[in-house]
Amino acid sequence: MNTWKRLLLAALLLSALGGLFVHEDATSDARFPYPEPHELAADYDSHVGETALIFGTVAAVDGSELVIESESEGVTVTLRVTGASAAVESGGVVQVYGELRPERAILAKSIVVVNDSGGAEWYKYGVSVVGALGFLVVFRRQWRLDRETWTLEARNG
């Protein structure tokens, strides 16, 4: 298998991947049955009574209620979350499933905490970088790049 054939195969796979990237975004609305934040921001009242699944950042915690901000297509909508509480701080990220009520409130049936605070997100990024660096160190101990053929080959035979 020469380098040109490998590059051609890589180009084919990359085009297929690019096709998936475009196809996913072009069809995602049809596969997500809930109103999106930019639709709620544009005309909230027409969606009252509908069920929604909102991914949002916690802007404030007010007693048992949360205030969340959710963004799509560059538009942010702010919603009050009532009916259920979650152990989360301002800056955290939650998924809220529930019914849209008047005055931009969502009556939650379920809240799932993604990050319980803004710091939790940075912690995830931090340990992910540690994981990536650790992997590279371990990988390089086992495999080396042959610069003549531009392939990875096992170290020590």
Q: Which residues bind other proteins (CB under 8 A)?
A: 1, 6, 9-10, 13-14, 16-17, 20-26, 28, 33, 51, 53, 73-74, 95, 97, 109-110, 112, 124-125, 127-128, 130-132, 134-135, 138-139, 142-143, 149, 151-154
Closest separation in Å from C-beta 153 to other proteins? 6
Output 9 or 60, the one with its CB closest to other proteins. Answer: 9
Rounded Cα distance, 113 and 89, in Å? 10
- Rounded to the nearest whole angstrom, what is the least distance from the CB of residue 114 to other proteins in the complex? 8
Q: Looking at beta carbons only, is 10 or 60 nearer to other proteins?
A: 10
Strands 93-101 and 151-154 turn out to be unpaired
Q: For the CB of residue 149, give the shortest distance to other proteins in the complex, in Å.
A: 8
| Nearest distance from C-beta of residue 142 to other proteins, angstroms | 4
Give the nearer residue to other proteins in terms of CB position, either 44 or 97. 97
Quick one: 1 or 43, whose CB is closer to other proteins? 1
